[in-house]
Structure 1
């Protein structure tokens, strides 16, 4: 067997591919110190207002965010950052655009603080910030740049990012609705085709494809800023 290869009955994986997969799993796991567990992305307000009550309403809400909302825009920005980084181009403009597209003060805090924490944690691998330079950077831009610099395929990075987005919000709702763990897992299973389709679309997207129509989610994120009693930061 050649060095640097892991073989199985049906596939052969190079050590480089295995390392990329392991890094991607680490970077987008709940254990990676970006603080994603502290954010509900406005869902806490939606639950407070009775708009999300059960597994079905949660699934429909997340489908909209993934296909036509903030998660879609994140995927487009991640993909553009990945391509520009691979081409050796400056990502400052896409980073500025990503920050400007935050729909509310809390959404801005969510993406910028998570992006900054991601950059800090990435020092364990490279010791360097993403190609956009030092300072705050939006979360999808930070992930897209890191994925490109570490040889992670765009489709894999997009799928993992979108899955982590959905998984984090499902776990928030497990605590808030409350939703049972089985219903949480069932929600993720139902969202799998949506995640894969969105990742495929985003892989072929350009910045001209940016845009969202989940206005209620954006408004609820703004309302959450003044909610009297809350568990999450957004």
Structure 2
């Protein structure tokens, strides 16, 4: 991997990227409220299950397919995958999250002169905008997929650090412990067949809907 591509990847996968990732928990805050996550062990179990049962089965495989479609300039497939991802957000909060962050990243890319993922102002998901950045900057796809997954993982761990609460050292232990799980998820996402794709996660959807009316929320999802 060339140094320039690595630096671009680090920049666009960084939690310092001003697209608002820190303000979302993707249902984790509701799990905390319901007592499903209470300590480091239950946090690790929750994140690992979310990773393998949801992210590796749908979000990551669609992102991988978006990268492949952009690489061969298949605009129809790129648009279709983006529509599929938006349609899969089955609660108001989860859809608003990816649309807001996708818009913010698309706007940032345009202002930096990197690319313009949504020139007509159409809604764009975060994975679609990130795939556009990866393509425009020549970032290798396997590394981009790992970065996307790590960015998701890091945000989930930070929610636990702030809200369980866990200490900073415990948070770093979580990241280290879940590293092998992240590698497995990436391998699965690259190889999962079309007819095995699934965003079936009714428990997470119910938690997300409860979060919409949860009192005293810190996060937007």
The alignment's TM-score, normalised by the length of structure 2, stands at 0.92
Alignment of 1:80-159 (within 5 A): 80-90=65-75, 91-130=78-117, 134-159=121-146
Partner of 1:3: none
Q: How has the CA–CA distance of structure 1 residues 24 and 119 changed in structure 2, closer, same or farther, with 3 Å as cutoff?
A: same
Q: Distance in 2 between matches of 1:125 and 1:86?
A: 21
Contact 1:170 1:188 (C-alpha < 8 Å) held by counterparts: yes
Contact 2:21 2:155 (C-alpha < 8 Å) held by counterparts: yes
Q: Distance in 1 between matches of 2:8 and 2:214?
A: 37
Q: How has the CA–CA distance of structure 1 residues 182 and 229 changed in structure 2, closer, same or farther, with 3 Å as cutoff?
A: same
Of residues 111-120 and 203-212 in structure 1, the stretch that sits farther from structure 2 once superposed is: 203-212
The alignment's TM-score, normalised by the length of structure 1, stands at 0.88
Compute the displacement of 1:182 (Å).
1.1
Q: Distance in 1 between matches of 2:129 and 2:53?
A: 22
Contact 1:77 1:207 (C-alpha < 8 Å) held by counterparts: no
Q: Distance in 2 between matches of 1:20 and 1:97?
A: 28
Equivalences, count: 219
Q: Distance in 1 between matches of 2:119 and 2:144?
A: 18
SS at match of 2:90: coil
User: Counting helix residues as a fraction of each chain, which structure ranks higher?
Assistant: 2
Partner of 1:230: 217
Q: Distance in 2 between matches of 1:96 and 1:125?
A: 25
Q: Distance in 2 between matches of 1:45 and 1:131?
A: 32
SS at match of 2:106: helix
Partner of 2:184: 197
The yes-or-no answer on 1:27 pairing with 2:12 is yes
Kindly report the root-mean-square deviation, in angstroms, between the aligned alpha carbons of the 2 structures.
1.8
Q: Which runs of 5+ in 1 are unaligned?
A: 1-12
